[in-house]
Amino acid sequence: MNTKDLSSLTADPIQVLGMSFYFDPLTKEKGREHGINVVEFYGLGRAGVLGDVDTRVVEEAFTFFDSSSIDYFWTSAKEKADPVVVAAAHLDAAYAFADRTFGAIDTAVLANFAVAARKAAEAEPRGVCPLVDGYLQFPAPSDPVHAAYLGTILLRELRGGVHIHAVSEAGLDPVEACYLQDPMVFTLHGYKEDATPEVTKDLEAKKRRAEELTGEAVASCFDVLSDEEREALALGTTLMFDALQNPVPVAR
Q: What is the pLDDT of residues 195-219, one digit of tens each?
A: 999 999 999 999 999 999 999 999 9
Backbone angles phi, psi at 11, to 5 degrees: -55, -65
Confidence at 103, pLDDT banded by 50, 70, 90:
very high
Q: Are 41 and 88 in contact (CB under 8 A)?
A: no
Q: Whole-angstrom Cα distance, residue 8 to residue 171?
A: 23
Residue 86 neighbours by CB distance under 10 Å: 28
User: For the whole model, what pTM was predicted?
Assistant: 0.97
For 134-149, the pLDDT digits (tens) are: 999 999 999 999 999 9
Confidence check: pLDDT of 252 > 90: no
Q: Are 124 and 157 in contact (CB under 8 A)?
A: no
Q: Are 103 and 249 in contact (CB under 8 A)?
A: yes
